Amino acid sequence: MRLMGRFRRAQDGAAAIEFGIVALPFFAFLFAIIETALMFWTNQVLEESLSQASRLLLTGQSKNRYTSTNPALNAQAFRNDICALAPMGLIDCSKLFVDIKIYTNFTDARNGTTNPAAGGVLNTNGFSYNQPQPDQIVVARAVLDYRLFLTAWPSTSLANIGAGHRALVATTTFRAEPFT
């Protein structure tokens, strides 16, 4: 009885045991917050890089910059411009896909774009590069196959194109200026 009473009154190691109980959920949520913040930051960098690179399409400078007769080479050059504008190498250019489409009105532009991450797979088969002409409506999209760092349960809810991957999509729509 004396041994049990002494065991109940002892406080040595209680903090270590309590920390051990709380540490796993605490660090899991901490890493989930960091993972989500990094994903949102990368998405914002993608949006801003696409917006800045699209100014070449908006102002007609793209006619002098993307001069190949092969649309795939022009798309690659546009993708490289997006990557060059991204700070600290946040965007992996080998996993970045671009789509530049031309429409006659904004309703068609809204209805003509589909979700490239539908059905849990990344589908970029219909992506192309179309050189905009003056006063045309342009939809420029950049899709990044973003690899999540954590594979534990917090990241599984973020993945939308397979285990450990999420499609980050940036889109900008505008009417090209009346350039000559």
* Angle between helix 71-85 and helix 14-53 axes, rounded to 10 deg: 130
pLDDT in tens, 138-160: 999 999 999 988 755 666 778 89
Domain assignment present for 47: yes
The span from the CA of 90 to the CA of 126, in Å, is 26
Mean pLDDT of 102-121: 92
Domain total for the chain?
1
Domain assignment present for 81: yes
The domain of 154 spans 13-175
Domain assignment present for 2: no
Domain assignment present for 103: yes
pTM of the model: 0.85
Please report, to the nearest 10 degrees, the dihedral formed by the alpha carbons of residues 21, 25, 31, 34 taken in order.
Answer: -120
Domain assignment present for 69: yes
Phi, psi of 44 (to 5 degrees): -65, -40
